Each structure stands twice: as C-alpha cells, then as structure tokens.
Structure 1
Amino acid sequence: MKLKTRMILAIGAVLLGALVATFVFVANSQKTQSESLYYNQAKSIDSSLSLVRTVVSGHGGVFAKQKDGFGVNPFLAAIPDVKAEMKSAKGDKFALINGFSFMQEMSDISQKEGKTAFTYRAPSDKPINPMNKPSDKELEVLGSMKDGALTEEYTKVVGEDGKKYYVYNAAMVTKEECMKCHPDYTIGGVDGMMSISLPIDEAEARNAASMLNLGYIFAAALIIVVGVTYVLASRVTAPIKHLAEAADKVSKGEMDFVIDINRKDEIGELAEAFNRLIASIKILSMTNDQ
C-alpha cells in the first residue's frame, strides 16, 4: 500500500472517529434534554394536580350545578354515606365533584384547548371508576410502589391510537380526606398512583428533523474532511515521489537536472542534500573521465 493511501486512511480514520463521536454526543445530549423536558413537564402537572386534589378532597369535594353533559357521578352515587347530589332552595340540582373528577375535568379541558394537553388517570387495585382499572404493567408498577421500591416511574409508550406518549406515574399516598370516597383504603398506604400521559409525537418529530439536519451537516463535514485529508496527503507525498523519481534517474546515469523543491522543512532539506549529492557524483564522474 502506498504511503499516500496509508496517510489518507490514517488521517481519515482519526477525523471520521472524531466526527462520529461528536455526532453521538450531540444526539445523546439532545435525547437527554428531551427526556428531562418531558419529565419536568409531567412533574409540574403532577404537583399542580396533587395540590388541587388536596384542596378539593379536603373540603369533601365541591358541588357544581348540573347541566347538559354534566350530572351526578354514578360511581360516587354508589358509595355509601356519600351525598352525590343536592338541591338548592330554588330547585336547582348540583352534583358532587371529588378530587379525581376535578382533575379529570382539568385533563379534558387541557385536551380541548390544546394547552399543555395531558391525560390523567388514577390506576388502583381497588378502582371505583373502571377507567382507573390498571393494566398488567401498571399493576406491576403499583405493586413496586406499595412495597416501597418505587416512588415514581416514567416511560415512553405507543398508545392504542398509534401515537407516542410519555407516561409519568407517581405513588399516591392515602390521606384522611381520601377515606370519604375510598373507605376501603388505608391511611398512609399507597392504594393508587397518579398517571399522567403527555402526547410527544410533535416533539419527537421535531427532534427527528433536528437530528436529520445534524446528519446533513456531519455528512458535509465528512466530505470536507475527505477533501482536506487528500490535499494534506498529496502535499506530503508529492515531493517524496519527486525525490524517488530523481533517485531512479541517478541510478540510470541521468544527472543533468536539479530537484526543484522549495520547502522550509525536512523534505526541503532532503531535496537540497540530494542536489548536493548529484553535484558531487557529477564532479567525481568528470574526475574519473579525466
């Protein structure tokens, strides 16, 4: 293998390795940043909802006037000693909204208005509302939370609608105000968890587009690296090739030439030494002829 080829491969391998390492670092950094953003957003929603749940449950729930699309919660009405409906002196009917229902309403509004859209559930192994019946995976996570092995858990999933979601689950410790609607729970125990799902399709698409653009940039950089490597290798090996050709001429008795390499480095010094050697050989040859 020629020196020029070896140099191109060696320099190219080093520069390519540096480019690949940089690309991987940037890609991982972007992924970490996205994961952190999802987590912080879900954590913020969890904190806000927990505060709302505490306030609403602490007051034993709130009553809102019934209207089209809103009436008595059948699951609350089925709980003994829970007054799920009341009438005003004017005859207006009001329905009870407990902590979960209040947060569910916030979730629905967020999806309708598209402002920090999220889906909220409260998976439990003792659900009142069927929508809170846990999946096998959720039941496994809830079990770990009950054992104290986990306080929170998060992952990316693909929903039944084919869209991607970031799901954040946090242990929900039963408080005294929870017992009104959940008499079979244990105060201080983990009988359920907050489950918040954030749609991330758009964010993931933006990340993918960003990585694609980054890939184009690195591809262009790679082409430039190959070009620069070729130029550098040519600059180094061209004079060496010239010296090799000169040495071949001398070996054949051709000495009527001067090596023209004007460089201020070791190769230039070698060329000058070669010219002196040729001159010495010519003088020696002329002396012998005489």
Structure 2
Amino acid sequence: MLKKLKLSRKFNVLLLAVFFGAVILSGIAFSAILNYNAEREVTAKANLLLQTMLSVRDYTLTQVNPELAPRLETEKQFLPQTVPGYSAREVMEGLRKNQLYSDFFYKEAALNPTNLRDKADSFETALVEQFRQNPNLKELTGYRSSPAGDLFYIARPIQITKDKESCLRCHSTPEAAPRSQIETYGRTNGFGWKLNEIVGAQIISVPASGIINSARQSIFVFVGILATAFAVTMLVINWLLRKTVIRPLNKMARAANEVSMGNMDASFEQDSEDEIGNLSEAFNRMKTSLIMAMKMLGRGE
C-alpha cells in the first residue's frame, strides 16, 4: 500500500506514526508525573492540616482542659470540649467550610474509644496495628476503598506520651474517670489505656477522584498543546518538503521525460548544494553524455 503513495504522503504517514507514538509515551510519562505532583500537593495540605490538629490538641490539653476539669465532677453531662480529639474534630469541621479544604475528612480512630463515633473500622484498625507493631513508624499513606469511592489517606499514630499523661485520668480505669464521663458514656468503653501505648491514629483523607481529575485536566491541556505544536510543525515541514524536494523532483522528472522523447533542449537547473543539487548536476551530465553519444552514432552512420 505504501508503494502506491506519493513521497509527501509517505512522509506524512511517518510523521503521524511518530506523533501518535510520542503522544502515547509522553502521555503515560506525563500522567505519572502529574499524579505524583497532585499527590504531593494534596499531601502538603494534609500535613498542614495534621499539624494544625496537633496544635489544637495541645492547646486543648494544656489550656482548655485544666480550666474545665473541675466541672467534670459537678456537671451531669460530660464536657467534650475538654477532650483534645473533640476539639480537633470541631476545628476541622470549621475548616471544611472553606472550599480549599471541603474535600478533606479527619478522624481520630481509636481501638477502644470512649465515644463510639471514634471507633476504628477494620481498615483503620489495621493501620493502628501497624503503628503498634513498629513504634518507629511515624506515618502511613495510601489509598483505601469507601462507599463514596477511593480515598487517599495520611495516618499518624496517637501515643500516650509523658506530656499527655493527663489523658489517663479519663482512660485508665472507670474509678479514676470523672463522674460526668461515667454518667454520659458508661463504664465499658475507653478504659485500659497505658502510658506510651499507641491507642489510635490521626487519619486525614481526601477523595482520590480529586487527584485524578486534577491530573486528567492537565493531561488534556498538555495533549492539546502537543497536538497544536505538531500540526504547525507538520504544516511547516510539508511546505519545506514541497519547496525543496517534491517540486524539484517533479521538474526533474518532466525534464527527463522530455529528453526521453527526443527534446534535448529540456534541462533542469538547481543551484543548491544539497542532494537535489547533486542530482541535478548528474542529470545534466547524463544528458550531455547522451547528446554526445547520439552525435557519435550519427557520424558512424
């Protein structure tokens, strides 16, 4: 099939093949780079939010809890504002009203929480167990499935360190817990925590579709720019091909055809020093040799 095509069309077929191959390979590479960059951007935001939540927890533990702690023995209902995890979650819900953070979700998943709202599911339990088995592990990231779709998550361990020892008042034994806590949540959940124990994980997650869509939009822009640049390049190359190769070759073919029909006045001149110029000189030498040969044959007769 290619043998029947003209030179310009063969060249265009070759260019198209190169273009599609380049688009596929560069698209795959660019997609991986964009996904990585989008993931890094989301990770940076998530880390900032996690640091914010840690600051809120520390503030609640050191500033709010000491002021409200005496009321825990006199109030009928437990004051959740004294709990660092509650404060962090409330602040996060406020941040989610901002469009920049509306897709982020925050949870302090515990193996044995006082409030069952914070109970770790099977996936979160596996993360906490990884932290418990490897105390030097400071962070886990990845993707998980959910009814709403895949989620990208970042998880960090929650450990009862020395500076957080006051948490054990509510989580060591029911006898040590404030009266309002027992009346609100009972004596079953949230006890048995120990110093230096990893009891849960801070987990912040965002729909993976946001990362994918961001990368996909950039890929479409990239492919559009690449296609436009290729189209312009192809037009320029075709123009140069016709001017410097196709037209000179067609002129040479017409001249050769006329010479073959006996018109020795037909000539082809090309003043360039490239391959077409060399071919022109060879053609004219061949024509001169042909004229001389015909004259010698004429004399011989």
Name the TM-score class by shorter chain. Answer: 0.7 to 0.9
Extract unaligned runs of 5+ from structure 1: 65-80, 88-92
What SS is found at the alignment partner of 1:264?
coil
Q: CA deviation at 1:129?
A: 1.9
Is residue 28 from structure 1 mapped to residue 32 from structure 2 by the alignment? Answer: yes
| Structure-1 residue corresponding to 2:272 | 263
> Percentage identity across aligned positions?
21
Q: 1:239 to 1:279 in 2, by over 3 A?
A: same
Query: What TM-score, normalized to structure 1?
Result: 0.74
Q: Give the number of the structure whose residues are more often strand, by fraction.
A: 1
Is residue 177 from structure 1 mapped to residue 177 from structure 2 by the alignment? Answer: no
Q: How is 1:1-290 mapped onto 2 (pairs within 5 angstroms)?
A: 1-2=2-3, 4=7, 6-58=10-62, 61=65, 84=72, 86=74, 95-96=79-80, 97-112=82-97, 114=99, 116-117=101-102, 118-148=104-134, 150-157=137-144, 159-160=146-147, 162=148, 165-175=151-161, 176-183=165-172, 184-198=192-206, 205-234=213-242, 235-240=244-249, 242-243=251-252, 246-247=255-256, 250=259, 253-290=262-299
AA partner of residue 179 (structure 1):
L
Q: Distance in 1 between matches of 2:250 and 2:287?
A: 17
What SS is found at the alignment partner of 2:158?
strand
1:87-146 Cα offsets, whole Å, 9 max, x none, are 6xxxxx983521111112112222345563443211122222222222222222222111
| Structure-1 residue corresponding to 2:189 | none
Q: CA deviation at 1:281?
A: 1.4
Instruction: Check the 8 A contact 2:34/2:218 in 1, yes or no.
Output: no
Q: 1:185 to 1:58 in 2, by over 3 A?
A: farther
What SS is found at the alignment partner of 1:170?
strand
Instruction: Check the 8 A contact 1:12/1:225 in 2, yes or no.
Output: no
| Structure-2 residue corresponding to 1:68 | none
Instruction: Check the 8 A contact 1:23/1:218 in 2, yes or no.
Output: no
Q: 1:26 to 1:126 in 2, by over 3 A?
A: same
Structure with the larger RCO, 1 or 2 (CA within 8 Å, 6+ apart) = 2
Q: 1:8 to 1:57 in 2, by over 3 A?
A: same
- Runs of 4 or more off by more than 6 Å in structure 1? none
Q: Distance in 2 between matches of 1:83 and 1:115?
A: 37
What SS is found at the alignment partner of 2:126?
helix
What SS is found at the alignment partner of 2:114?
coil
AA partner of residue 43 (structure 1):
N
1:253-276 Cα offsets, whole Å, 9 max, x none, are 553411243433121122122112
Q: 1:246 to 1:113 in 2, by over 3 A?
A: closer
Q: Distance in 1 between matches of 2:120 and 2:210?
A: 27
Q: How many residues align?
A: 269
Q: CA deviation at 1:172?
A: 1.6
